[in-house]
Structure 1
Amino acid sequence: MLVGVPLMVTPSSIYLLNHSVGKPVDTAFKAINTQFEHWQHQVEPWPLWLESVDHFRSQLARFMGGEASQWCPQTNLSSALTKLLFSIPRPSGCKNRLLLSEDDFPSMVFVAKQAESLGYQLTFIPKGLDLSLFANWEAWIKEDIALVFISHVQSNTGRQLPVNALCQRFKENGTYTIVDVAQSAGILPIDVMGWQADAVIGSCVKWLGGGPGAGYLWLNPQTTSDWLPKDVGWFSHDNPFEFDPHHFQYRDDALRFWGGTPSVWPYTVAAAAIAHWQQVGVERIRAHNLELLALLRNAMPEQWWVSPVDAARCSGTAIIHAGAVMDALVEALAQANVAFDRREYGLRLSPHWTNSKQQIADLAQWIEQGVAKLGEQSKF
């Protein structure tokens, strides 16, 4: 309960950490068991292993667009971004700046700093600027921007950035675009071919519930031939089973970014998860998410709600800051077994398809009753 306030409704075990780690789907267990059984009883497991990775790539294409050949498995986003940065043609002349935001996930910023060794100069859009509004980008779209990193959803602000418009505008500017969909894949509709970014990177550990280790990158076929990764291995080779140490030729698709001997289990789990959400439909998932967000928003003072309200600008995550009673709200949610976390801008709560309307309605009623009894203490 909210500290010092007796309430009649007490929600319990409500998982709202989908922005961090999504829950696994039932079919993932069956998929991984099949892999282990095959490995144990068959002489040669590689054919099924590679088939599993191909299945992962196909599911990504079905879910977010493009063709399977344009998708490449990656260990995580940091590795994917590193490979991309060191593959892009070096900046030349005065067009040498890499643009990103101080509200981007820190791991991405750590990687971006390594690009300084390639001749890039980093330019940061200041923290706190509302980049869900396209107008706030205009001052930063300059001729010297060679590359821009765009977070489709900012993890700490709950803001959805106008990726389609940004990709078009930066393309007109002659700027490479890399889009991070880690916080949006599985909760927002994504069409990589519609965006026409140069590259898209993401992870399955969050809304997709695909577990850790199943990262990915999408490479625009128009830029594939020009982007030559330095971090390669035998699976980056056009013929991995040629076994000629004196001959290497990049694959002609996104798998040139694959590298050495691949892992298999993460992609097996993730492929099962993506297939599950494909059957549900991301439009239905998003509509359900917006309905649950509205229930939460209507249960608390307007000033508590930090993330955008407009569906075109909000992500799947509610960012809430309760002002003077913030610590009381944190303690109360924890006591009620609500799974959430806290970052710089406030609490993060992310309702998913797996959360029922009744479950969130109970939580909303519980919060609403607490706010009413706290009275003026709940306001700034």
Structure 2
Amino acid sequence: MLPNGNEKKPNFKEDFILTKANYLLNHSVGRPLKTSEKNFSEQFYTPWNNSLSEPWEQWLGIINDFTASLAKLFNAKQSEFCPQVNLSSGLTKILMSLDRAQKKNCVILVSEIDFPGMGFALKKSLPEDCEIRFIPSNIDITNASVWDEYLTKDVDLVFVSHAYSNTGQLSPILQVLSMARSRNIISILDIAQSVGIVPIDLKALNPDFMIGSSVKWLCGGPGAAYLWVNSDCLDSCNPKDVGWFSHENPFEFDIHNFRYHNSALKFWGGTPSIAPYAIATHSINYFTNIGLKNIRKHNQLLIEKTANVLDLEFVSPREEAMRGGTMILDFGSNQQKVLKQLKEHNISVDLRSHGIRISPHIYNDAEDIDQLLSVIKSTRL
């Protein structure tokens, strides 16, 4: 946790493996905790090494801890979470489980600036006669009135990202989800770019479904994704991609009698992966202990520090309520020159269509931003 007024401020850099880099790529892959390897060995290898038979009982305890950590992080019921390999798989499973999404001529609303992989999953998991309707990329998705205009009575399902990877924008999910609910539109919330840097309260938001992962701001590595199903929607879901861990009793072993699990685990599938969830649970608990509001505040102070110096180049929203954890800087014809100089100074950023993406985390500090600004200034001289 962050200190009170009289306590010494913790040095979060000491807790992470940063390899002497000024690492600002947290929108892509978060850095691991120094304690992750030891914790992983204890959680995953120790039961394997010490067991006289197969260690499934201990390994499944890791999954239970993972869903419990998610429930605490999101203020939701543990029974509403199901582990997934990645977001695309989770989205596909949700869509294929819903009669309404599989009906003739159903209409799905998404934004043209959503992550392409989500669009691919939508296209291939819906019937050919379904319409995927796009909010054009040049329209401001931070404006709730835009969503009000596009959430028309013929829309069956809305897919909404909380934060957008190429623009640094936040969508007004509280309003969007409220509109969808009042208009009987199924909602799927994608939190890939916001979880771990923007607090999310599922009881307050009340979407129908949510998909997320642990690889970015949660610093849990790839493979520990998850889907969340609102308890009110659970009975209407009939997943098609199932396996023995989707069963009410996986160890019943009666090939003639399949019954869905009575929780979100009905979406689970076959023999589960275990290792990624051991790593992710450790980091999720670390960040929950610090508090996402504190992490968000720290992130936004560093972003604002940059925006105050590079006002003209700062193309992300200036209003904090419309901004995620990532800032976008556009240097026009000098883009590649700036990028090269940052790389030569071991400052880790990347480039997308709108500009250079920069994402400070709890282990970044004012000195990291000062170095970033210093290199940029020297490049522009």
Structure-1-length-normalised TM-score:
0.91
CA drift of 1:237 comes to 0.3
CA drift of 1:92 comes to 8.5
Residues 338 and 118 (structure 1), Cα distance of their counterparts in 2 relative to 1, 3 Å cut: same
Q: 1:162 aligns with which of 159, 164, 172?
A: 172
2:142 corresponding residue in structure 1: 132
Structure 2: 5+ residue stretches without partners = 1-19
Q: 2:41 aligns with which of 33, 40, 54?
A: 33
1:210 corresponding residue in structure 2: 220
1:282 corresponding residue in structure 2: 292
Distance in 1 (CA, whole Å) between partners of 2:287 and 2:237 is 32
In the alignment, structure 1 residue 17 sits paired with structure 2 residue 17:
no
2:367 corresponding residue in structure 1: 358
CA contact (8 A) 1:182 1:203 kept: yes
Distance in 2 (CA, whole Å) between partners of 1:213 and 1:232 is 18
Q: 1:264 aligns with which of 257, 270, 274?
A: 274
CA contact (8 A) 1:224 1:253 kept: yes
Could you report, residue by residue, the CA deviation over 1:188-246 in whole angstroms, capped at 9, with x for unpaired residues? Answer: 00011211110000110011010000000110000000011000000000000000000
Distance in 2 (CA, whole Å) between partners of 1:91 and 1:366 is 50
CA drift of 1:74 comes to 0.2
2:332 corresponding residue in structure 1: 323
Counterpart AA for 1:38: P
Q: 2:51 aligns with which of 39, 42, 60?
A: 42
In the alignment, structure 1 residue 145 sits paired with structure 2 residue 155:
yes
CA drift of 1:94 comes to 8.6
Aligned length: 360
Q: 1:228 aligns with which of 206, 222, 238?
A: 238
The two structures, once aligned, show a CA RMSD in angstroms of 1.6
CA contact (8 A) 2:327 2:357 kept: yes
- DSSP-derived class of the 1:305 partner: coil
Residues 298 and 365 (structure 1), Cα distance of their counterparts in 2 relative to 1, 3 Å cut: farther
Distance in 1 (CA, whole Å) between partners of 2:252 and 2:361 is 46
Could you report, residue by residue, the CA deviation over 1:53-78 in whole angstroms, capped at 9, with x for unpaired residues? Answer: 00000001111121111110000000
- DSSP-derived class of the 1:229 partner: coil
Distance in 2 (CA, whole Å) between partners of 1:309 and 1:48 is 48
What does 1:227-246 correspond to in 2, within 5 Å?
A: 227-246=237-256
CA drift of 1:316 comes to 0.4
Q: 1:186 aligns with which of 184, 192, 196?
A: 196
Distance in 2 (CA, whole Å) between partners of 1:192 and 1:273 is 20
Structure 1: 5+ residue stretches without partners = 1-11, 374-380
Residues 30 and 305 (structure 1), Cα distance of their counterparts in 2 relative to 1, 3 Å cut: same
Residues 52 and 116 (structure 1), Cα distance of their counterparts in 2 relative to 1, 3 Å cut: closer
For CA contacts below 8 A with separation 6 or more, give which structure has more relative contact order. 1
What does 1:59-98 correspond to in 2, within 5 Å?
A: 59-91=69-101, 96-98=106-108
- DSSP-derived class of the 2:194 partner: coil
Runs of 4+ with deviation above 6 angstroms? 92-95
Counterpart AA for 1:27: T
CA drift of 1:325 comes to 1.8
In the alignment, structure 1 residue 55 sits paired with structure 2 residue 49:
no
2:316 corresponding residue in structure 1: 307
CA drift of 1:367 comes to 2.9
Residues 92 and 250 (structure 1), Cα distance of their counterparts in 2 relative to 1, 3 Å cut: closer
CA contact (8 A) 1:27 1:273 kept: no
What does 1:285-296 correspond to in 2, within 5 Å?
A: 285-296=295-306
Distance in 2 (CA, whole Å) between partners of 1:103 and 1:243 is 45
Distance in 1 (CA, whole Å) between partners of 2:326 and 2:100 is 37
Counterpart AA for 2:364: N
CA contact (8 A) 2:96 2:102 kept: no
- DSSP-derived class of the 1:274 partner: helix
2:358 corresponding residue in structure 1: 349
Distance in 1 (CA, whole Å) between partners of 2:263 and 2:50 is 33
Counterpart AA for 1:343: R
1:7 corresponding residue in structure 2: none
Counterpart AA for 2:49: Q
CA contact (8 A) 2:105 2:129 kept: no
CA contact (8 A) 1:99 1:148 kept: yes
Distance in 2 (CA, whole Å) between partners of 1:295 and 1:364 is 10
Could you report, residue by residue, the CA deviation over 1:300-341 in whole angstroms, capped at 9, with x for unpaired residues? Answer: 2x2211111111100100111112322221111111111111
Counterpart AA for 2:132: L
Structure-2-length-normalised TM-score:
0.91
